[in-house]
Amino acid sequence: MRDHFEVRDGDAAGRIGRLSVPRADVTVETPALMPVVNPNIRTISPGRIESAFGAEILITNSYIVHSTDDLRERALEEGLHDLLGFDGAIVTDSGSFQLAEYGDIDVTTREILEFQRDIGADVGTPVDVPTPPDVSRERAERELATTERALSDAESVDTGEMLVNAPVQGSTYPELREAAGRNAYATDLDVFPVGAVVPLMNSYRYADMIDIVAGAKRGLGRDAPVHLFGAGHPMMFALAVAAGCDLFDSAAYAIYARDDRYLTVRGTEHLEDLAYLPCSCAVCTAHDPDDLRACPDEERERLLAEHNLHVSFAEIRRVKQAIRSGNLLELVESRARSHPAMLDGYRALLDHAEQLEREDPASKGSFFYLSGESARRPEVHRHHERVTRLDPGGTVLLTEGGMPSGDVYDAAWRVVPPFGPFPRALSETYPLTGEVPARTDRHAREAAATGVARLVEANPETSFVLAHDDWPASALSRVPDRVETELVHSGR
């Protein structure tokens, strides 16, 4: 039991949590965005990131501090909080990225963790191996073994009150990620970064990202705070949170700004392509694109970085509110329409509907049917499970609203796509209170037919008549043969 992380509220596999960071004496509410602060370059000062944007936690690279003489001396003398001018929690990365990029670094896990402890980091990181995507399974396993030795080394370091990251690697092998998650969770380390996803993000492989996160989550306990390391684009926060990620880090806000790139929840724009600033933040309300283009470089970079942070923090608030309102998957539905690769990511998430269903609360705000994908949501699976435990008895009419001619029934149940059949007694329960479009679709009717099939198969003694409003063959073919079906317009 990890008593420094408490899950307060959930939706799909997403949750609102409280990460206690004892060394900083702060509690960080998750999902949280950690702006990356380069100790050498300050586009926006950490103090302003705290006061104007409400950041409770940031991340910086201890390897850069360690390998820069004057930074190292000052950090050891003043401590990281004074060096950066930030009162919240400070996470330090270890140099693993540099290891992956340059093949070699000159610190061990023990050395860097002791250094992180000595400069006052609140969360430290061992030297793991960020294995890239698509390598051979052999290499992924070999490097994972090295990462796992680093975790074991980290456990033996006296880190005091500092929390310690336990990175989960395994390249693009979900089952290795699961094993890595299980191993990391078994250590006494504290926070669980899913590593080496940056190359996937850069090539828009959101479906692969989801499969990896789902793998890692299967290995980790529910009380493990999960950091999607290197993921900082607001377009994918909702999706990644729905898959169970709690922490994000954004270097993008500053790096993109340097390059005149402008973040939105629907993708990235280049300032040169903008005729309007499609955002409600203070920067975008007070300027137009020509104003920004006319600014001196440094001022423009700062303004774009501020916009990028505003958009990113607002999306985190939006995601948290969606969890509280119980409509996180509705937000994901919207974000899935940002890019075809985001749709792939959402479709991949729905492949894990049963895994999500185990964490998803049984009752939430209101289910909205928003696309063919909605028919595959965990709530629909759960309802189909639920109907197998019900027995209407006798001769039962299942109807979309119309009444067939003749016959007397022992019970009449409503059928609503995508859920399928349910007794009146359940009609005021989630998700059956949900809203569906008047213009329904095949996916919803096919899912409803699956619900009918589950009910019928679970009740071999009961007779069923289905009054449907013009279901397509692809739906009717799912209905067991022994069900009498009749097309009766429901007058909807």
Exactly one of 111, 318, 402, 432 binds a second copy (CB under 8 A); that residue is: 318
Distance CA 136, CA 261 (A): 35
- Is 279 annotated to bind ligand? yes
Please report how close the Cβ of residue 269 comes to Zn ion at its closest, in angstroms. 11
The reply on whether position 488 binds Zn ion by CB under 5 A is no
Exactly one of 26, 64, 343, 465 binds a second copy (CB under 8 A); that residue is: 343
Exactly one of 213, 370, 448, 452 binds a second copy (CB under 8 A); that residue is: 370
The reply on whether position 203 binds a second copy by CB under 8 A is no
- In three-state secondary structure terms, 207 is helix
Partnered with residue 193 across adjacent β-strands are 227
- Is 128 annotated to bind ligand? yes
Mark residues 35-54: x for contact with a second copy by CB under 8 A, - for none: -----------------xxx
The reply on whether position 330 binds a second copy by CB under 8 A is yes
Please report how close the Cβ of residue 384 comes to a second copy at its closest, in angstroms. 20
Phi, psi of 8 (to 5 degrees): -105, -30
Region of 139-147, 276-284, 290-298, 463-471 interacting with a second copy (CB under 8 A): 276-284
How many residues of this chain bind Zn ion (CB under 5 A)? 5
Distance CA 262, CA 253 (A): 8
Exactly one of 97, 192, 229, 313 binds a second copy (CB under 8 A); that residue is: 313
Please report how close the Cβ of residue 349 comes to a second copy at its closest, in angstroms. 11
Q: Which is closer to Zn ion, CB of 307 or CB of 384?
A: 307
Exactly one of 307, 352, 376, 384 binds Zn ion (CB under 5 A); that residue is: 307
The reply on whether position 284 binds a second copy by CB under 8 A is yes
- In the chain, count H helices and then E strands: 21, 18
> DSSP character for 123?
E
Which of the listed partners (a second copy, Zn ion, none) does 336 bind, with a CB threshold of 5 to 8 Å by partner kind?
Answer: a second copy
Is-catalytic flag, 93?
Answer: yes
Q: Give the pair of three-digit tokens for residue 101.
A: 């990029």
The answer to whether 8 and 16 have CB atoms below 8 angstroms apart is yes
How far from 28 is each of 3, 34, 62, 89, 328, CA to CA, in Å? 14, 10, 21, 8, 20
- In three-state secondary structure terms, 128 is coil
Query: In angstroms, how far apart are the furthest CA atoms of the chain?
Result: 90
Partnered with residue 194 across adjacent β-strands are 168, 228
Q: What is the DSSP string of 256-308?
A: HHHTTEEEETTEEEEGGG-SS----SHHHHH--HHHHHHS-HHHHHHHHHHHH
- E strand or H helix at 146: helix 137-155
Catalytic residue among 3, 69, 82, 93: 93
Q: In the range 451-470, which residues lie near a second copy by CB under 8 A? A: none
Where does this chain bind a second copy (CB under 8 A)? 52-54, 207, 266, 269, 273-282, 284-285, 310-311, 313-314, 317-318, 320-322, 324-325, 330-331, 333-341, 343-344, 347-348, 368-373, 435-439, 441-443, 474
Q: Which residues are catalytic?
A: 93
Q: Which residues are annotated as a binding site?
A: 128, 196, 279, 281, 284
Where does this chain bind Zn ion (CB under 5 A)? 279, 281, 283-284, 307
